């Protein structure tokens, strides 16, 4: 141990005697380690972000969105005859479709054997009034399945009862932000709140959902804390049922040559959860064919599988991380080659020193340890600086590029360990070359 410690001290003195050269030698390790840490931080942040998004959208979900089709848009393969379709276009009318409605929900439940839960949704923007406070908000007509599909729980009260859904009762469940705005100093359960022209009784309060605004906007989901939830039948009976609008009511406005298309869908969205993740894509295709037939060939809906989209995003991110890993590995490899090159040059410069040490009793192992310690020490210096730069780079990327990053302890240890291993691996050859010098010839060298 004494000999090892003595050789270690000699190595430190050797590095200290050539500070600038040692720092320049360590630059490859510095940039390589910082790149590895930044890459792992980006990969961990992206993975965590996707896991959070998966929690928000739920698993095995298929989302069906209504699309309002104008009279100028195509039918996408209508079942009506070409003559009827051409006449409808000449009259400025779109091909007929009942729109997304509750009958579609029943048909999906009947036809699709993989359905576990299904939730229709109607979103109604309106003004909310209580006492002397007036604000704009949203009432969302849903069934109880909506809350389990989206992982929402209750902090107080209870869910909708069957009688609420059957009779369209004037009841609601509110989010935490709604409670804070309208019931800040009191218990909201059993209290009344006016939504549009209807008074609703509060029967439940949702637990707050922890989700970033970025995740909410990327996934196209609503902020559940700011919404008021009512039974879907209540939304259709007490507020507005767009499905009752007749075909004549959707005609063009004489005062406007290009009037905006009117929303004729009874529902805004339907979320279907299937019981087998392997059948997600097949179930989505079956739902699309079913709805196309029920809507007489008019493609006034979109069928999406968020989980598959996120999986594709994860694959893209993994490819990006692999490219970063290759770049970081090349940088570390170049750093290791630089260390070996400088150490070989150092051996040639210090032949006389090697000869003096051998003549004073040092054996080949002592020479190997001295030069090997120097290489490892340079790598560790580069690794330490690289860790600091990598952490700083990860935080800078998160701040300025708005990319989520997570620097974990294992990534720091891994980078530091790789730096030490590279110093050890690329320092062995120069150390052995130094130890193989003939002490007689070494002493004679100038």
Residue 230 confidence (pLDDT): 94
Q: Which residues contact 420 (CB under 8 A, 6 or more apart)?
A: 376, 379, 380, 383
Say yes or no to pLDDT of 202 above 50: yes
Taking each helix axis as running N to C, give the angle between helix 19-57 and helix 409-435, from 0 to 180 degrees, rounded to the nearest 10.
150
Which of the four pLDDT bands, split at 50, 70 and 90, describes residue 251?
low
Supply the mean pLDDT for the chain. 78
Say yes or no to pLDDT of 233 above 70: yes
Residue 231 confidence (pLDDT): 94
Q: What is the mean pLDDT of residues 403-427?
A: 78
Which of the residue ranges 137-151, 337-351, 432-446 would you say has the lowest mean pLDDT?
432-446
Which of the four pLDDT bands, split at 50, 70 and 90, describes residue 107?
very high
Q: What is the mean pLDDT of residues 106-121?
A: 90
- Evaluate whether 268 touches 222 at the Cβ level (below 8 Å): no
Say yes or no to pLDDT of 89 above 60: no
Residue 192 confidence (pLDDT): 93
Q: Which of 64-68, 260-264, 363-367 has the highest mean pLDDT?
A: 64-68
Q: What is the mean pLDDT of residues 48-52?
A: 66
- 405-437 core/surface letters (b: 16 or more CB in 10 A; e: else): bbbeeebbeebbebbbebbbebbbebbebbbeb
DSSP-derived 3-state class of residue 304: strand
Residue 90 confidence (pLDDT): 47
Residue 348 confidence (pLDDT): 66
Neighbour count for residue 218 (Cβ, 10 Å): 14
Residue 80 confidence (pLDDT): 44
Q: What is the pLDDT of residues 6-49, one digit of tens each?
A: 766 777 777 777 777 777 777 878 888 888 888 888 777 776 76
Q: What is the pLDDT of residues 351-410, one digit of tens each?
A: 667 677 767 777 777 777 777 777 778 888 888 888 888 888 888 887 887 677 888 787
Q: What is the mean pLDDT of residues 189-218?
A: 81
Phi then psi for residue 29, to 5 deg, are -65, -40
- Distance, CA of 193 to CA of 172 (rounded, Å): 9
Residue 327 confidence (pLDDT): 73
- Distance, CA of 326 to CA of 418 (rounded, Å): 14
Residue 77 confidence (pLDDT): 46
DSSP-derived 3-state class of residue 230: strand
Of 332, 358, 273, the closest CA to residue 32 belongs to 332
Q: What is the pLDDT of residues 278-312, one digit of tens each?
A: 888 888 899 999 999 999 888 889 988 876 666 66
Q: Give the rounded distance of the alpha carbon of 434 from its chain centre.
A: 53
- Distance, CA of 259 to CA of 261 (rounded, Å): 6
> Higher confidence at residue 110 or residue 335?
110
Q: Which two tokens stand for residue 332?
A: 């570390």
Say yes or no to pLDDT of 149 above 90: no
- Distance, CA of 5 to CA of 10 (rounded, Å): 9
């Amino acid at each position: 141990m004494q000999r090892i410690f003595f050789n270690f001290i000699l190595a430190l003195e050797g590095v200290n005697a050539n500070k600038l050269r040692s720092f320049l030698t360590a630059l490859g390790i510095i940039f390589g380690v910082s790149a590895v840490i930044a890459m792992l931080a980006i990969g961990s942040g992206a993975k965590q972000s996707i896991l959070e998004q998966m929690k928000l959208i739920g698993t095995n979900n298929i989302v069906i969105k209504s699309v309002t089709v104008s009279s100028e848009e195509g039918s996408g393969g209508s079942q009506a005859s070409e003559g009827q379709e051409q006449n409808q276009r000449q009259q400025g009318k779109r091909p007929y479709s009942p729109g997304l409605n509750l009958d579609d929900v029943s048909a999906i439940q009947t036809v699709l054997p993989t359905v576990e839960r299904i939730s229709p949704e109607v979103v109604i923007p309106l003004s909310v009034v209580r006492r002397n406070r007036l604000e704009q908000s949203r009432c969302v007509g849903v069934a109880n399945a909506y809350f389990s599909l989206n992982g929402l729980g209750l902090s107080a009260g209870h869910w909708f009862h069957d009688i609420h859904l059957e009779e369209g009762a004037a009841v609601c469940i509110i989010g935490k932000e709604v409670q804070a705005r309208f019931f800040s100093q009191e218990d909201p359960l059993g209290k009344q709140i006016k939504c549009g022209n209807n008074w609703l009784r509060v029967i439940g309060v949702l637990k707050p959902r922890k989700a970033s605004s970025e995740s909410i906007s990327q996934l196209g989901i609503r902020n559940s804390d700011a919404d008021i939830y009512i039974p879907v039948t209540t939304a259709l009976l007490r507020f507005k049922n767009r499905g009752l609008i007749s075909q004549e009511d959707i005609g063009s406005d004489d005062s406007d040559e290009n009037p905006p298309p009117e929303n004729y869908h009874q529902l805004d969205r339907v979320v279907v959860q299937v019981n087998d993740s392997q059948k997600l894509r097949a179930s989505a295709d079956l739902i699309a064919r079913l709805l196309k037939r029920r809507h007489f060939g008019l493609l006034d809906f979109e069928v999406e599988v968020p989980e598959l989209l996120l999986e594709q995003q994860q694959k893209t991110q993994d490819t990006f991380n692999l490219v970063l890993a290759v770049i970081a590995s090349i940088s570390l490899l170049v750093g290791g080659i630089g260390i070996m090159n400088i150490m070989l040059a150092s051996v040639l410069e210090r032949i006389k020193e090697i000869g003096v040490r051998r003549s004073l009793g040092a054996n080949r192992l002592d020479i190997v340890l001295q030069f090997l310690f120097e290489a490892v020490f340079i790598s560790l210096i580069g690794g330490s600086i690289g860790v600091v730069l990598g952490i700083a780079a990860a935080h800078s990327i998160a701040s300025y590029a708005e990319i989520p990053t997570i620097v974990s302890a294992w990534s720091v240890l891994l980078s530091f360990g790789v730096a030490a291993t590279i110093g050890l691996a690329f320092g062995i050859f120069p150390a052995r070359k130094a130890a193989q010098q003939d002490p007689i010839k070494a002493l004679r060298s100038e």
